[in-house]
Structure 1
Amino acid sequence: MSASQTPEYQAQQWWKTDIIDMRPGEIRYRGYPIEELIGNVGFADMVWLMTRGELPTRPQAALLETALMSAVDHGPQAPSIAIARMAMTCGGSLNNAMASAVNVLDDVHGGAGEQAVELYQSILEYQIGGHPLEIAVEEGIATWQRERTRIIPGFGHRFHPVDPRGPRLLQLVEEAAERGEVDGNFVAIAREVERQLIAMKGKPIPLNIDGATAVIYAELGFPAPLARGLFCLSRSVGILAHAWEQQCQGGRNKGPMPKGWLWPYGGPAPRPVPGRDRP
């Protein structure tokens, strides 16, 4: 029996990973010993190391941290936060509330960042193909609306005429581009998308938090699917905070509407149950 056919070898290969090497008394992430990482790198550095395989530069880590901290919360009106708080009033634990909330961060609520990165990357491909920025954005928007949805991800907001997070994040990316820390391609794309959407709609369609953090993730080279994962990681901070606050406040069986508020009913008018012998 060859070494690759032994049960021991097959068991060792069951979960093959390049992420962590662990044995009694030793833990290494991507080759780095944990005792040297502790105290020398921050949480954003570790997120980068775990997902990308290498430690980031200080400017890269700073931009990543900026994106992560900017999207931690948007209040109980956000379905994920409301679900976390409701779960706590049902007797759930913090981990139950967090899992319940993260599970709804999907295509509509939580997926716009990933979609915005995809849009930006498709526009960059048009530029690489020889189109100037304005034409590349026109093509990107048209293709997206034809093949995906009329909604352009990362732009517009239900509550904010101007999302206060967007301009500040773009400013930081542009400053990083001036220092040569990122290329600046995606921040230019986002600004042109915003300009064209305003021209198309005849009203402000501001860049929102999803579109702004997508600029950062794209500038830093994160694949689009990781943008959603990073948003889930970021929003988990707010989810945890609200779940803990609700546990401290107490309350039992709080649903989506206050006590005494009832939903509109549009079904049949009151009517008797027919007799059993009715044909």
Structure 2
Amino acid sequence: MTKENIKPVIKSRNEPFVDRVATRIWQEIPSAHNPYIAESCQCHGYDALELAEKRSFSDVIFLLHAGELPSAQQSRLFETLLVALSNPGPRHPATRAAMNAGVGKTNPAHILPISQSVMSGDHLGGGEVSAAMTFLRKNRKNTPEQVVHELISQNERPETGDWHIAPGFGSRFGDIDIISERIATLLMTLPGKGPALDWANEFAKPLHEHNMGWLSTGLAAAVFLDLGFHPRAGAGLFQITSS
């Protein structure tokens, strides 16, 4: 056997295997008679049954991602967004994927995962939400009108299809997305709104003369930022919102 073919000897580092799964999100208090059975559960320190009794589903989703329960204003802002974006409509690619899967006699248990895989994408999906959150964070100190001017002057409108001038903002079927604009108007009236929604709303206004404006992904991005979420959480939160 040549020297090149000699395999290295794997030595033990005498490191013990972890005897339990550790997570900062969820804690299971073991039963006294069987340590594999949970006597009670806590989510970020809050008793799960008490949460089920006293808090809404949207509050618990917020808790899972943020580590703390939302304030009353945050709760209302988050729940308003969840309800407003709960169904993307029959023309959305994710909805079409679900409809096609259903017509094709797909196992019903697989239809939602198929739809959600499309909802994770960069076109009107979770990927665009994360990108929009990054865009808003990057430009928050710039004047919205100036950013619009630079994007319009430096980019050419495509000959066919919609133009997303920035992640979360653009046209739908060649025009302004009326529903997204109406949702934005509603969100702007809530006391929980913050600087991200304010900036994004001023950014959307000068886009109207170019037949563009808010998209659902931009709405989600602005709200998630105002609620304190990181862009990496945006995609998953948007999938939950639209499921």
Q: Give unmatched runs, 5+ long, in structure 2.
A: 1-13, 31-37, 156-162
User: In structure 2, what is the equivalent of residue 252 of structure 1?
Assistant: none
> Deviation per CA, 1:106-161, whole angstroms, max 9, x where unpaired?
1124032222211111111xx2xxx555446656x48x97xxx9731222332484
Cα deviation, residue 172, structure 1: 3.6
User: In structure 2, what is the equivalent of residue 156 of structure 1?
Assistant: 170
Say whether residues 1:204 and 2:211 are aligned partners: yes
Q: Alignment partner for residue 90 of structure 1, among 76, 96, 104?
A: 104
> Deviation per CA, 1:213-259, whole angstroms, max 9, x where unpaired?
222112112112222211111221xxxxxxxxxxxxxxxxxxxxxxx
Q: Give me the whole-angstrom Cα distance separating, in 1, the residues matched to 2:164 and 2:53.
A: 47
> Deviation per CA, 1:175-201, whole angstroms, max 9, x where unpaired?
33xx4x343x22232133223434xxx
- Segment drifting more, 72-81 vs 31-40: 72-81
Q: Alignment partner for residue 71 of structure 1, among 85, 89, 93?
A: 85
User: In structure 2, what is the equivalent of residue 189 of structure 1?
Assistant: 199
| Aligned partner letter, 2:19 | A
Q: Give unmatched runs, 5+ long, in structure 1.
A: 237-279
Q: Alignment partner for residue 72 of structure 2, among 38, 42, 58?
A: 58
Using the size of structure 1 for normalisation, the TM-score is 0.66
User: In structure 1, what is the equivalent of residue 239 of structure 2?
Assistant: 232
Task: Give aligned-pair identity as a percent.
Answer: 25
User: In structure 1, what is the equivalent of residue 133 of structure 2?
Assistant: 117
Cα deviation, residue 70, structure 1: 1.5
Kept in 1, the 8 Å contact 2:164–2:171? The answer is: no
User: In structure 2, what is the equivalent of residue 219 of structure 1?
Assistant: 226
Kept in 2, the 8 Å contact 1:68–1:230? The answer is: no
Count of residue correspondences: 214
Kept in 2, the 8 Å contact 1:137–1:189? The answer is: no
> Deviation per CA, 1:32-82, whole angstroms, max 9, x where unpaired?
111211120001101110011011112111111111122222333222112
Q: Give me the whole-angstrom Cα distance separating, in 1, the residues matched to 2:169 and 2:56.
A: 31
Q: Give me the whole-angstrom Cα distance separating, in 1, the residues matched to 2:220 and 2:138.
A: 17
